[in-house]
Amino acid sequence: MQSNPDSARVIKLALAQDRDHGDAETNRGAILRHIEEAAQAGCGLLLLQELHNGPYFCQRESMMEFDRAEPVPGPTTEWLGEAARRHGLVIVGSLFERRAPGLYHNTAVVLDADGRLAGCYRKMHIPDDPGYYEKYYFTPGDLGFTPIDTAIGQLGVLVCWDQWFPEAARLMALAGAELLLYPTAIGWDPEDSPAEQARQREAWMTVQRGHAIANGLPLLACNRVGFEADTSAPGGGSQFWGSSFVCGPQGELLARAPEDAPALLITEIDLNHSEQVRRAWPFLRDRRIDAYGDLSRRFRD
């Protein structure tokens, strides 16, 4: 299936897969280097990983971790915005948002190529599992599934645990998203067997490629990498599995990062190719919206 070259809208984009460097200042320096490298490569968009300013602190419950939160707009959106303006690059970041005393969110921020804060998305699905105690820290999002308009198009930004839910991707698509983007922090329990680890990562990639196919949209997932110890459990921690990737609207893999090393993943996509895919596979046309009422129920007893 080929797009009409006369109507192509090709963009070059980058995903910055990285580890926690130990402190906010060093992480910021690494991010700024990724931004500069992406801009020098001619990219129009850079996606950063979930909670990129520091460690993935949700492995434990500690009141002190709330000190990491910041307002939006705030310090990080200011320096990301300045970097976006300086390099003419759309940047998607991920922050621990302090909305009010005692009210916090896991929030994605989009800085447009002119440096302005184009919009935010607050993570809707909040996990609560061993090593991922996010319900202790984050209030579920209340901004809905609304694409963010930028210089390169309509971005359907979601965050990590959201990537397992087809409803989130679908609602972004129905609202006009041209890309699905997932800042992510997901890894293995070191005690899991290699076979179990492989199943988990393949499931993670497969479900997201399914979202791309079902909605006829390209998809970007940017994950952390490296081992981060859980200081509350000696010997415990998470091995983040990297494997950041970009796939096209038929689920085809366009680029993939290693599982065990930082990487700036760069590739090109044609945003107009989705039109051709949706003409051939008209899932939106054939949806039986008259028969889906039970989707709003927790379970059909």
Q: 112 in helix, strand or coil? A: coil
Res 228 pLDDT > 80: yes
What is the spatial distance between Cα 216 and Cα 291, in angstroms, rounded to a whole number? 22
* Structure tokens, 276: 């051709």
135: annotated active-site residue: no
Show the CA angle centred on residue 137, arms to residues 131 and 142, nearest 5°: 120
Give me the mean pLDDT over the 207-234 stretch: 94
Answer yes or no: 50 catalytic: yes
In whole angstroms, what is the distance from residue 49 CA to residue 85 CA?
A: 20
Query: Cα(224)–Cα(260) distance, rounded to whole angstroms?
Result: 10
From 123, 178, 222, 228, the catalytic residue: 123
Average pLDDT over residues 55-82: 97
- Section 257-273 average pLDDT: 97
pLDDT at 144 over 70: yes
Percent of the chain residues topping a pLDDT of 70: 98
Diameter over CA atoms, the chain: 59
For 278-295, the pLDDT digits (tens) are 999 999 999 999 999 999
* Known catalytic membership, residue 252: no
Q: Which of 43, 58, 120, 160 is catalytic?
A: 160
Mean pLDDT for 170-190 is: 97
Helix 24-40 with 75-87: angle, nearest 10 deg: 20
Catalytic residue among 50, 97, 134, 178: 50
**83-119 pLDDT per residue, tens:** 999 999 999 999 999 999 999 999 999 999 999 999 9
Sign of CA dihedral 266, 204, 130, 170: positive
Distance CA 49, CA 52 (A): 6
Backbone phi and psi for residue 140, each to the nearest 5 degrees, phi listed first: -55, 145
User: In the CATH scheme, what is the code of domain 9-284?
Assistant: 3.60.110.10
Measure the CA angle with vertex 136, ends 184 and 231; round to 5°: 75
Q: Which residue ranges make up each domain of the chain?
A: 9-284
